[in-house]
Amino acid sequence: MIPRTKAIALKELKQLLRDKRFLFVLIFFPVFYLGLFGYAVNFDVHHIKLAVYDQDRSEESRSFINSMLASQYFDLTIYITNDSEVREILNDKDAQIVMVIPVDFSEKLFRKENAKVQFLVDGVDGNTAIIISNYVNGAAQNYNGKFQPEILAQVGAASYLPIELETRFWFNPSLESTKFFVPGLIAMILIVTAIVSVSLSLVREKERGTIEQINVSSINIIELLVGKSLPYVIIALIDAAFILIVGYLLFDVVVQGNLLLLFFCTLIFIFASTSIGVFVSVVADTQQVAFSMAIFISLLPSVILSGFVFPIESMPWIIQILTNVTPAKFFIRILRAIILRGVGVQAFWDQLIYLTLFIFFFLGLAAIVSKRKEKTT
Amino acid sequence: MNSIEVKNLTKKFGNFTAVDKVSFNVKQGEIFGFLGANGAGKSTTIRMLCGILEPTFGDALVGGFSVMKKPDKVKQNIGYMSQKFSLYNDLTVEENIEFFAGVYGIENHLLEKRKSWVLKIANLSGKEKLLTGSLPGGIKQRLALGTAVIHQPKIVFLDEPTSGVDPISRRNFWELINNLSADGTTVLVTTHYLEEAEYCNNIILIDAGKIIAEGSSKELKTNYLSNDILEIECEPVIDALEILEKEDFVEETSIFGNNIHINVNKNFKSINQIKTVLSYKHSIDIKRIDKIAPTLEDVFIHLLESKKK
């Protein structure tokens, strides 16, 4: 068994090494993707362009503006001097938010009345608008919090808050979305690499008729499949390592859990993906069909249904059932558990079982389809 | 001794019967020709005999093993080469040889010896590092045969090995087949080049999945064709062919290069009949009329035509 598997794997590796373009795509695309996703798909909002229309021009109004800018979320880009500019600035997207401080701002503060500050937020991108408005609330509360004790002290009372919130974010303390994305990216890139390369390499043999020559030798199907997939499994593992290294260098993603456990789980996931690739190769007769099928099966579900970008819990129940079509869903849970939370296998062993089921399901399905095809062609 | 014994071998794809109760025997060391038009069932039969396609019913013993019950044993004892020359174009000559050596389980201590043997067969000694894709068709085909028999099997199946190869390469290739046979290897070869069939010890002709003739090339010519064959050289050929087809003494007509072959029946009395029809009635210029020994092609045209009638 071993020598024949070795012969197949060696041959596959030689062909792969000779096909420099494909090899380049296999190794560098994942890293390229990681960079792209890491920087482009970013839900954190920094450097919000703030325009200020300070009608009061008092010491108090300036101190309020400074307290806003201190948060680093806001960049003061424009200082507005008359009414007509407000609309213009929002229209031209010169600022995402305009703060209007009325003439009587400081006066009202002196009289201990409620001073009103108006914020005009560009609501086209609802997501960003909500984040901006949260930041504004936070900044205002901050200011109030500093101001209140002073005023209370003037009347001889101590400040008292019945409940003080103390929220800490675990596993991703600064709530950076890249930390959340890197595990999903690993899953997505690995599943695409495994399914596309394995199905293409098998269908290529079918298309060129070389599979016939292998079939008449006494090699069995397991030796063939293991031999053919082995080089791609190794490439996928190299990809995974690459992504982890780049993820660490560029985005500070550190693997909290056990590396050996991570390796083992990744291997199971790659086998699950490979078995889908085998299934594709049985159904498709040309490389073109195989490629389209492989991309459709691997890319779309692993981005949309896996929980990589959109949380599964907030999907309608019927879509939630549909999410089970991709092994990426289970692997992403495992990855987040190991990489971000640093927990052990007891936290996700059930996900490993699902992954193993994928291997049996798709290899079984491939066997049935190929038997049926043999009868009719 | 028979190295292949085929009994009622049948393959159905749905309602379509590709191979219909085919039976024949092939003796050890024989070159056995398997002839028929495209789609006649040649490749399907070969695939069943190689153990890669399961028969619907019937069976065959290949090297003593049943293709029905022991396809894996069959595979261990045969070599197979298809019309596609299953080599990897993106591997070098040497890498291809090493790959097939590995797949056929050649042990390491035999590898170097077998490798140089295959290189000699393919005429590629000293050119191991060439990319297979850059080789001319004839050489590629020899290399494909070499890799297909690298494990030196007792029985070799060649499925249209010479299709798409130039005549000189084809002749050289048949020399290789003869050498294999001389060494005691049984060779079953399919072809649709009828002149190649002359190289075979025994031939079967298959049409629509059924055997319609079998025997040596000589037997086929005498047993299946009782009528005389005349070769006519004349101008214009096509007109003459159309005229002759209508005559009652002509059974079949066919064109061979610039000549016409006609198969004449009992109504034919003398060559003058042809002269009358062609020269006097239609003023066709006859250069030559000869009675000839039938070629295999004449036999097959006769067999296929008479089957249609």
Contacting residues for A345 by C-beta, under 8 A, at least 6 apart: A261, A352
In this structure, of A6-10, A69-73, A310-314, B4-8, the range with the lowest mean pLDDT score is A69-73
In chain A the domains, ranked by start, together with CATH numbers, are 2-41+176-376 (no CATH), 48-154 (3.40.1710.10)
Whether the predicted pLDDT of B225 surpasses 90: no
Between CA A45 and CA B40 the distance in angstroms is 71
User: What's the pLDDT band for B5 if we cut at 50, 70, 90?
Assistant: very high
User: Quick one: pLDDT at residue A327?
Assistant: 94
Does residue B259 share a domain with residue B163? no
Tell me whether residue B173 is in a domain: yes
Residues B81 and B140 in one domain: yes
Same domain, B69 and B144: yes
Read off the CATH number of the domain in which B248 is found.
3.30.70.100
Question: What residues make up the domain containing B239?
Answer: 226-293
CA distance B186 to B6: 15
Instruction: Name the more confident of A345 and B305.
Output: A345
Partner residue facing A209 (CB), from B50, B86, B90: B86
Q: How confident is the model at residue A1 (pLDDT cuts 50, 70, 90)?
A: low
Q: Do A376 and B14 touch (CB under 8 A)?
A: yes
What ipTM is given for this predicted complex? 0.76
B142 & B289 share domain: no
Q: How many domains does chain B have?
A: 2
| Residue B59 covered by a domain | yes
> Are the C-beta atoms of residues A294 and A200 closer than 8 Å to each other?
yes
Identify all chain A residues contacting B95, using CB atoms and an 8 Å cutoff.
Answer: 11, 14
Looking at per-residue pLDDT, the higher value among B258 and A352 belongs to A352
* Residues B194, B230 share a domain: no
Which residues lie across from B253 on neighbouring strands?
A: B262
Q: How far apart are CA B30 and CA B11, in angstroms?
A: 25
Q: Among partner residues B13, B82, B90, which is closest to A212 by beta-carbon distance? A: B82
Q: In terms of domains, do B238 and B118 share one?
A: no
Tell me the residue ranges of DSSP E strands in chain A.
48-54, 74-79, 97-101, 118-121
Per the model's pLDDT, the better-predicted residue between B128 and B163 turns out to be B128
Residues B6 and B146 in one domain: yes
Nearest to B104 among A15, A209, A217 (CB): A217
pLDDT at A44: 66
User: Is residue B42 in a domain?
Assistant: yes
Per-residue pLDDT reduced to its tens digit, A38-69: 777 666 677 888 899 999 888 888 888 888 88
Mutate to test the interface with B, among A216, A226, A373 (most CBs of B within 10 A): A216
- Asked if residue B194 belongs to a domain, the reply is yes
User: pLDDT value at position B138?
Assistant: 86
Determine, yes or no, domain membership for B221: no
pLDDT at A134 over 70: yes
CB contact under 8 Å between B54 and A217, yes or no, is no
Separation CA A77–CA A94 (nearest Å):
8
pLDDT for A296 equals 93
pLDDT in tens, A340-365: 888 888 989 999 999 999 999 999 99
Residue of B297, B208, B187, B159 whose CA lies nearest to B22: B208
CA distance A376 to chain B (A): 5
Q: Does residue B174 sit in the same domain as residue B255?
A: no
For residue B178, what is the domain's CATH number?
3.40.50.300
A362, A279 contact by CB (below 8 A):
yes
Last residue of a domain, one of B216, B249, B267: B216
- SS3 state of residue B248: coil
User: Are B143 and B234 part of one and the same domain?
Assistant: no
Which residues on chain B place their C-beta less than 8 Å from a C-beta of chain A?
Answer: 13-14, 50-54, 72, 75-76, 78-82, 84, 86-88, 90-91, 95, 98-105, 148
pLDDT of residue B271: 82
- A376 in reach of chain B (CB within 8 A): yes
Question: Which residue in B31, B77, B27 sits closest to B175, CA to CA?
Answer: B31
Beta strands B57-62; B2-13: pairing state: antiparallel
Task: Decide: B190 and B43 in contact? Cβ < 8 Å.
Answer: yes
Q: Is A159 on the interface with B (CB under 8 A)?
A: no
Chain A residues touching residue B103 (CB < 8 angstroms): 4, 7-8, 214, 217, 219
